[in-house]
Structure 1
Amino acid sequence: MAGGASIAVNSVAVDSQFNVYAGDDYSHVTKLDSNGKQVWQWTALAPVLSVGVDSNFNVYASDYSNYVTKLDSNGKQVWQWTAPDSVHSVAVDSQFNVYAGDASGQVTKLDSTGKQVWQWKAPNFVHSVAVDSQFNVYVSDNSNYVTKLDSTGKQVWQWKAPSVVYSVAVDSKFNVYAGDKSNYVTKLQTANQ
């Protein structure tokens, strides 16, 4: 896999020691070291759509079979949670809470043990979720919206993009970046919002 994958890689994440985690269409999550050598590989029940990694090197994987799975640093399953639909994006915060956005439009916050904390309903299919250092969550959906939720899952604001936003990210100053179907990346300056 290091030199080039022969299958579609749907998601990658990198940890603080430069290990890379890749989720692919063959239902694998593969950990590569900083030199690109395979460390371990775990197999999900369906193609892996999104991967995330926390500061303790635990890995979170979502797949087409509606599961979010937490793996320890050795690739062993810790817990598994079932979503209402296929989870297309996962994010993890500094307290090891996990955020899952699914095809039914649900965004779910799970605690570090995989228990549901809250759930919020987006207008449509969720493409991407991101979380900032204050535990605010940013969601993009198939209705062209980017929505900010506070740490309790309450909507703070909503911005409408010119087209479907496939990916959303947030920086350390709380600026939000939205990549859309029209080939634009839009920066939303939201530090005071």
Structure 2
Amino acid sequence: MAIGRVNVAGLNVKLFNKAAEIWRFDGGDPSHSNSIDIDIDDKGYVYSSHYFDTIRKIDPSGKEIWSKKLNYLTSVGNLAVDNNGYIYCNVGTYSIGKLDSNGNEIWNFSFTSKGKNPYIEDVAVDNNGYVYCSIATGDLVKLDPNGNEVWNYKQSTSIKSRITIDNNGYVYFVYSSKGIVKLDPSGKEVWNNNEHYSNVVDVDDKSYVYLGSSNGDLIKLDPSGKEIWNYKQSDKINSIAVDNKGCIYFTCSSKGVVKLDSNGKEIWTYEGYNPGAIVVDKNYVYLTGGSNTISKITKELYIKK
């Protein structure tokens, strides 16, 4: 049974489920728990956040290990997972928490001192366990692995993108007033590029930056913030992920999933369903779907002849 269509070198052909899709996890009634975000650890375990206060852990074969309701939330929001399987997500209206691999809280940090309605908009974690949170007041806060504040970078306007951190601890995000901003590990601004305002950001192992915009542009910047290329299409980009070979994957409603090489040339598109968040590891792509599903697919799509 075909699960979608793939376009390879201009040929539109059927894609079969045994070829590309490893598994698909159905999270139940989407009116109760639509998937918001997804992340993976180094062992291939998948973690997802959902509306109506739920987080889940799924094993590498697609089976649910546990789900946990944080009963004081209406939405968990975005999450991040570190190399040891610790989970970072909202644990209160204005609080971020660190959970162990079983979903038990280790610590939490409240942002109530940062101003009125300091809602948490995003969270990220670096390779050393430092946590980065953007909040609605315009603050970007760095916490140490024990939940203590290290620094606070503040602007008067809100952060409009996800936060991403490179292998050297540099931080990238987009302010509505400054465009893309790069901070060093101490919180000092390295550069900003106000020519590009995007809603999603990612960075590769060599500190090249990728921006996805609501008008469909996907832009690659060099480590100094200068544009290298611009891949244009017409649909809003929902999420971006870059693998260890510099290939770029992004999701949008019209094309589904698109894979580009490091020069911005399209390799394939996968139109299986309407995906939202996307992450990749060395071998696989992980997606959230519009009907509250989570899927694991291969990075190389195979065609049934």
The TM-score, its normalising length taken from structure 2, stands at: 0.58
Deviation, 1:96, is: 0.6
1:176 aligned partner:
285
What does residue range 98-137 of structure 1 map to in structure 2 within 5 Å? 98-137=209-248
5, 17, 34: which is aligned to 2:145? Answer: 34
> In structure 2, how many angstroms separate the alpha carbons of the residues matched to 1:124 and 1:178?
18
Q: What per-residue deviation string (whole Å, max 9, x for no partner) do you get for residues 85-130 of structure 1?
A: x422111111110111111111111110000011112331111111
Checking the alignment, whether the CA contact within 8 Å between 2:137 and 2:156 is kept in structure 1 is: no
> In structure 1, how many angstroms separate the alpha carbons of the residues matched to 2:234 and 2:296?
22
1:3 aligned partner:
109
Checking the alignment, whether the CA contact within 8 Å between 2:169 and 2:185 is kept in structure 1 is: yes
Greater relative CO, 1 or 2 (CA 8 Å, sep 6+) = 2
Deviation, 1:62, is: 1.6
Q: CA 1:134 to 1:74, structure 2 compared with 1: closer, same or farther past 3 Å?
A: same
The TM-score, its normalising length taken from structure 1, stands at: 0.90
Q: Report the 3-state secondary structure (helix = DSSP H, G, I; strand = E; otherwise coil) of the residue aligned with 1:87.
A: coil
- Aligned-CA RMSD value: 1.9
What does residue range 5-84 of structure 1 map to in structure 2 within 5 Å? 5=111, 7-48=118-159, 49-65=161-177, 67-84=179-196
Q: Report the 3-state secondary structure (helix = DSSP H, G, I; strand = E; otherwise coil) of the residue aligned with 1:31.
A: strand
Q: CA 1:181 to 1:24, structure 2 compared with 1: closer, same or farther past 3 Å?
A: farther
Checking the alignment, whether the CA contact within 8 Å between 1:97 and 1:112 is kept in structure 2 is: yes
Tell me, which stretches of 5 or more residues in structure 1 are unaligned? Answer: none
Q: Provide the identity percentage.
A: 32
> In structure 1, how many angstroms separate the alpha carbons of the residues matched to 2:178 and 2:241?
19
Aligned letter for 2:265?
K
1:185 aligned partner:
294
> In structure 2, how many angstroms separate the alpha carbons of the residues matched to 1:59 and 1:160?
32
Deviation, 1:192, is: 6.4
Checking the alignment, whether the CA contact within 8 Å between 1:144 and 1:162 is kept in structure 2 is: no
> In structure 2, how many angstroms separate the alpha carbons of the residues matched to 1:45 and 1:180?
34
1:156 aligned partner:
267
Q: How many residues align?
A: 190
Q: CA 1:29 to 1:142, structure 2 compared with 1: closer, same or farther past 3 Å?
A: farther
> In structure 2, how many angstroms separate the alpha carbons of the residues matched to 1:55 and 1:133?
12
